Amino acid sequence: MDEALRLYQQQFVRDSRPPQVASDTDSPMRFGTPLTPDDTADVMAWHRARAFSHYAQDLGLGPEFVFQLTNALARDMHDGRLDGLANGEPITVSGPTGGVFHMEDADQALRFSQARAGTLHENVARLVDGAASPDLRRRLELMSLDLTDFDWLRMQRSQGISTTETHLAANDLPALPRLPELVDEDGNPTDRVARYTLRAMMDVDVTINAPGESWVTPMYRYNALQLPPVIRARRGDEMFVTLVNDLPAASTVHWHGFKLPGSEDGGPADPVAPGSSRLYHFTLDQPAASLWFHPHPHPGTAEQVYQGLAGVLLLTDQVEQQLRRDSRIPAEEHDIPLLIQDRLFDAESAGVRELVYSSEQMAGFGMMGNVVLVNGAELPRLAVETRQYVLRLYNASNSRTYDFALHDGQQFSLVGSDGGWLPSPVEVDNVVLSPGERSAIVIDFAAYRPGDQVMLISRPFMGGAAMGMSRFHASGGTEGMHGGMVGGHHGREPYLPGEGQDIMRFDVDRAVVDDVRLYAGLPEAAVIHDRLSEQDATADRLFVMSWGHGMDGFLINGKQYSPDRIDEQVTPGAIEIWEIVNVSPMPHPFHPHAIQWQVLDRSRESPAGAERGWKDTVLVRPGESVRLIGKFEPVNSGEYVYHCHILEHEDAGMMGIFRVGP
């Protein structure tokens, strides 16, 4: 429902100027009463950002202009009044081609869109349920709404239900693989020092297990392992990790979500040449969390991750250990990392399916696969007892966003975000994860009986374009995708952005008595209790994500990544507010290195769900603005990057550099 509402909002903003059909006798205005600006300042801000980016697009103005518009918008929003004035002065913006915008001029269009919003709100449900009468549909079409988007969503939902039924009955699903754990090479697993070697290798023959079949795919892997490894560490551990680069290209190990000095961060500024190696040395000092690591060479991050390089680091601490001892969270054997990655496999030849990679896949959406792997297997099954399990969902896909849910709509508890345990569990029936994000959830299988099967699915949702997704789904996307690069591909087509899938199945096989009473609140010692306060922030920064055209058009603050430019200078130890605004027509997960953040608000609304915890990656949808607050720690010094975690966007330059300290 939220998704449908969002779709609806995006659609009417596209037409935020009165359409031609509007006339005195048949004006869409008659369907509703304009909302009063007083109580809708937030809504207005949102629409205004959208409207302005589209005005600029319609006039053929470049992304720098959109950026200026958004900047002006931010100024306008500052006094809480969207009146086109800043300190009583009219705001105008002049574009590079000489066009001038007067910020006040959008007001008429704005009121118009609000009228549409107020009226149509309740009709969205009917559209998605297919319960809109022909007359209603006709009236909605008069308002220039593209109803095929809603139809697509409805069709997806019903198709999803029937494939899920097939998969629930299938008896040939592969078992869920356990990710291999690396062993501390210093021979002493209990001291506070740990040594590991990660040898990045190519052409490792990986066996992929899928329902009723398996095949071999040559991939990149660390240490020639079949699957991405897991490293377990405790808060306070001193880590010595050596990367040996056996790839024919430069690589790095980036520690995603870690609080580290810039020199150990493994970012694009520190490539490790082919054939050489380097040591990463750092001490882990942050709360227990589901962290991960992956290569980060520029511009080769997307391809190296896609080919198979990534790993999980499970950091534990005393708070978590105590919760386990007190049976307030499930034991370690019932706590399972799930690495979720989609891949596009070519047709089989002699038992081998090559990975297909093209960085320009999907007309700018990034690389999308035709198979979703969970710990390296397609649609695996896991036998479970009637107890609670922690599942640590890692979206380690290059570009795909998932909307995870159980097929029967059963609720589960959200217990962890990117940076650690949530202050208290949140009951939900879905969790959206964009690339780079993690969520820990607790599913209580006591709600089921032995013999029951439950499917973890990704629900169909509008894949993210601000408008006309159905047209993309119907033609443009797939055509662009298969027209050239993947022309010879005979297997299944890639899943479209937002297309639903079955992810894995839980087979309830044994009744047990669960002694875990899930924690209701973290102990006082947990650092998550510290809400950072806006008053303590010493800097406010704005990051505007925009898209002009083609793969060169992915920009932050109107700029493409340059290794020679420091974009932001941060004072050591500072508390800062970073506001991320997306004026592009597709969603982008924003990820700054170095620290963990708290979400202050999302388009002026207080954070919900996993965003009540620590985050290092946040999804910013078209038209949204997300404000983050974070504290740079004493360990933070040197250079880091922030970027979109759609890895194809990052490689295309949707990245910037910030420097902490001199």
Among 7-15, 427-435, 444-452, 581-589, the segment contacting Cu ion (CB under 5 A): 581-589
From the list ligand C2O, Cu ion, none, partner contacted by residue 228 (C-beta under 5 to 8 A by kind): none
The reply to whether 311 sits near ligand C2O by the rule CB under 6 A is no
Among 86-94, 240-248, 596-604, 637-645, the segment contacting ligand C2O (CB under 6 A): 637-645
d(CA 56, CA 58): 5
The reply to whether 643 sits near ligand C2O by the rule CB under 6 A is yes
From the list Cu ion, ligand C2O, none, partner contacted by residue 588 (C-beta under 5 to 8 A by kind): Cu ion
Q: State the DSSP H helix or E strand holding residue 433, giving kind and residue range, or none if neither.
A: strand 431-433
Among 224-232, 350-358, 506-514, 638-646, the segment contacting ligand C2O (CB under 6 A): 638-646
CB closer to Cu ion out of 72 and 312: 312
Q: What is the DSSP letter of 105?
A: G
Dihedral in degrees, nearest 10, Cα atoms 342, 348, 350, 354: -40
% helix / strand / coil in the chain, to the nearest 5? 25, 30, 40
CB of residue 625 to Cu ion, shortest distance in Å = 16
| Count, residues near ligand C2O per rule CB under 6 A | 10
Gyration radius of the chain's alpha carbons? 25
Among 59-67, 113-121, 525-533, 640-648, the segment contacting ligand C2O (CB under 6 A): 640-648
| Count, residues near Cu ion per rule CB under 5 A | 6
Write phi, then psi, for 395 (nearest 5 degrees): -85, 95
The 278-297 contact track toward ligand C2O, x by CB under 6 A, reads ----------------x-x-
From the list ligand C2O, Cu ion, none, partner contacted by residue 643 (C-beta under 5 to 8 A by kind): ligand C2O
d(CA 555, CA 543): 10
The reply to whether 588 sits near Cu ion by the rule CB under 5 A is yes
Which of 297, 436, 607, 613 lies at the binding interface for ligand C2O (CB under 6 A)? Answer: 436
CA neighbor of 397 nearest in space, from 365, 353, 429: 365
CB closer to ligand C2O out of 68 and 398: 398
From the list ligand C2O, Cu ion, none, partner contacted by residue 553 (C-beta under 5 to 8 A by kind): none
Residue 643: CA count within 13 A, CB half-sphere: 30
Q: Distances from the Cα of 343 to the Cαs of 251, 368, 434, 646, in angstroms?
A: 21, 7, 16, 14
CB of residue 63 to Cu ion, shortest distance in Å = 13
Question: Is residue 53 classed as helix, strand or coil in its secondary structure?
Answer: helix
Residue 122: partners with Cβ closer than 8 Å, 6 or more residues away: none
With 0-12 CB in 10 A as exposed, 13-18 as middle and 19+ as buried, what is 232? middle
CB of residue 266 to ligand C2O, shortest distance in Å = 9
Q: What is the DSSP letter of 39?
A: G
- Name the residue with tokens 């993947």: 486
From the list Cu ion, ligand C2O, none, partner contacted by residue 436 (C-beta under 5 to 8 A by kind): ligand C2O
Which of 167, 505, 591, 621 lies at the binding interface for ligand C2O (CB under 6 A)? Answer: 591
From the list ligand C2O, Cu ion, none, partner contacted by residue 646 (C-beta under 5 to 8 A by kind): Cu ion
CB closer to ligand C2O out of 615 and 643: 643
CB closer to ligand C2O out of 430 and 439: 439
The reply to whether 415 sits near Cu ion by the rule CB under 5 A is no
Q: Which two tokens stand for residue 525?
A: 């010692």
- The CA-CA-CA angle for residues 419, 643, 194, to 5°, reads 45
With 0-12 CB in 10 A as exposed, 13-18 as middle and 19+ as buried, what is 358? middle
d(CA 307, CA 222): 11
Which of 14, 593, 627, 649 lies at the binding interface for ligand C2O (CB under 6 A)? Answer: 593
The reply to whether 649 sits near ligand C2O by the rule CB under 6 A is no
- Name the residue with tokens 């609080």: 259
d(CA 296, CA 294): 7
- Name the residue with tokens 């909302």: 35
CA neighbor of 167 nearest in space, from 335, 381, 340: 381
Residue nearest to ligand C2O (CB): 256
Which of 111, 254, 400, 602 lies at the binding interface for ligand C2O (CB under 6 A)? Answer: 254
Residues near Cu ion, by CB under 5 A: 256, 588, 593, 644, 646, 649
Residues near ligand C2O, by CB under 6 A: 254, 256, 294, 296, 436, 591, 593, 641, 643, 645
